[in-house]
Structure 1
Amino acid sequence: MIENMSRAWRILLAALLLVSAACSANPADVVRPPDPKQVLQQAGSAMAGLQSAAISAKFGSGITLQGLELVSASGHISRPSNSDVVVKVKRGDYLLDVRLITTGGHAYIRLPFASFTELSGNSGVSIPDLAQVLDSSHGLPAVLLRGRQPKYAGAEQVNGVDCNHVDTTYAAADIGQTLGGQAPASDVKASIWAGKQDHLVRRVKLSGDFLQSAKPVDVDLTLTELNQPVTVTPPALPTPGGQPSPAPGTPGTPATPAVPPGQPHPSPAPGG
């Protein structure tokens, strides 16, 4: 019996030594999650140097443009305020394309079955200007660090890039200026995915009252092709005589139309 008790004490002592060693482990060896505020700060600094990107967006149900429901958008943006984006809109059971171009301080829109027209400041049309995403004063570089109560949500991949995921909340005014459109009615919840190595933002998911109706709607933005060459040219505008004329700021001879001749045909929406 004495031998058995001695053996039991040896086992207990060994266990206590293991626990003690674990508790006294070097704190430097313990992996701590990144500071979410620092992740946002580094992302803001990195985005200040981003010159161009391909951008895609998915819109939740109910967001409209010229009376048409927005479904998605894709195109390219570049500094200082250039964008060429095709927006998918829904009318009834059909998906239609609306093309938006901003360049040289001018904005142009091409609605389904129509020619390009320039939007003036008093047109009363509010469109999302995705080029604002890169703006140093109003876009992601300026807004990212303003997130309130950021929380680290883990490490994830976005299009094959290892990213840090941070959840936070932004004021409605910050989101309004970042998207270049009307501000939401209240604060917006946001999820940010920033590259672990270069800190550049790969994805932004927003959830808030974009419809002024206390009904949360999601807007999901993805950035790819970072710092790749992007050229945005103004479209040719129609004239009373039926011949296209170069848009303001286009030097030399009339510009080649930005859209091939012919009008797009509507295609049935998925599931329609």
Structure 2
Amino acid sequence: EQVLGDAVDSMKTLTSFHFSYVITKPQGAKPPQGTEIVSIMGYVSLEGSMKATVDLNQSGVPLQLDFVATANTHYVQNPTSQKWQSVPADLSPLGKISLTSGAIEILERVKDAQYVATESVGGAQCYKLKGSIAAADIASIVASANADNDLDCLLWIGTEDHLVRRIQTVGAAETGEDPRLLRTIELSQFGDPVVIEVPQ
């Protein structure tokens, strides 16, 4: 619990970071009906703004979008015309995804956390912890989380700086999802200068 508490404090002081968020479907999983997020890679700044490249699967067709999110407005670049369109956050393809608050909420709400090992992630020694998390408690990283079950959760937290390097969940966050679905978030480049400009 001390490790988790220290990690919450450290994450709350972060000014910026790079992230990758990858969703891995198991072999034999059902093909998507509509649009699914495959991965998101980008940066988050102190103000909570985000710029990212989003890989989507739209009824079996891969799509890639560039994306900028500010507090209330999201900007999506049309992959065909290359023009930017602004949409309210509520209607955005990423919904209300927030990796900063999402990581902190997982640290605060993970249940039965136990030390597993000390491992290196991105060149940093980390405590690896395992526990479980309610689907409702990862709504900041899965915008449509509505399942009423728990997911298995693994956390890698820096032994010296207490910053979260990796989060993995296995399980169904949405009703009807494959219970083997793996979500992996990796954080790095903490505190690097990041300028996120609103598209014109």
TM-score by length of 2: 0.84
Residue 44 in structure 1 maps to residue 2 in structure 2: no
The aligned counterpart of 1:118 is: 86
The aligned counterpart of 1:68 is: 35
Residue 106 in structure 1 maps to residue 73 in structure 2: yes
The aligned counterpart of 2:47 is: 80
- Correspondences of 1:105-254 after superposition (within 5 Å): 105-114=72-81, 115-120=83-88, 123=91, 125=92, 127-130=94-97, 132-135=98-101, 139-176=102-139, 178-179=140-141, 181-185=143-147, 186-216=149-179, 217-236=181-200
The structure, 1 or 2, with the larger RCO (C-alpha pairs under 8 Å, 6+ apart) is 2
Bigger shift: 197-206 or 64-73?
64-73
Mapped to 1, the partners of 2:170 and 2:90 lie a distance apart of 30
Q: Which has the higher strand share?
A: 2
Please tell me whether the aligned partners of residues 89 and 95 of structure 2 are also in contact (alpha carbons under 8 angstroms). no
Unpaired runs of 5+ in structure 1? 1-36, 237-272
Task: Give 1:134 shift.
Answer: 1.7
Mapped to 2, the partners of 1:46 and 1:194 lie a distance apart of 10
| Paired AA for residue 99 in structure 2 | V
CA RMSD of aligned residues (A): 2.6
Please tell me whether the aligned partners of residues 17 and 191 of structure 2 are also in contact (alpha carbons under 8 angstroms). yes
Task: Give 1:91 shift.
Answer: 5.2
Task: Give 1:93 shift.
Answer: 7.4
Please tell me whether the aligned partners of residues 51 and 134 of structure 1 are also in contact (alpha carbons under 8 angstroms). no
Mapped to 2, the partners of 1:65 and 1:168 lie a distance apart of 29
Q: Which has the higher helix share?
A: 1
Mapped to 2, the partners of 1:52 and 1:39 lie a distance apart of 21
Residues 64, 227 of structure 1: alpha-carbon distance in 2 compared, 3 angstrom cutoff:
farther
Q: Secondary structure at the match of 1:59?
A: strand
Task: Give 1:162 shift.
Answer: 0.3
The size of the alignment, in residue pairs, is: 194
Task: Give 1:166 shift.
Answer: 0.4
Please tell me whether the aligned partners of residues 81 and 105 of structure 1 are also in contact (alpha carbons under 8 angstroms). no
Q: Secondary structure at the match of 1:179?
A: coil
Q: Secondary structure at the match of 2:51?
A: strand
Task: Give 1:154 shift.
Answer: 0.6
Greater CA radius of gyration, 1 or 2?
A: 1
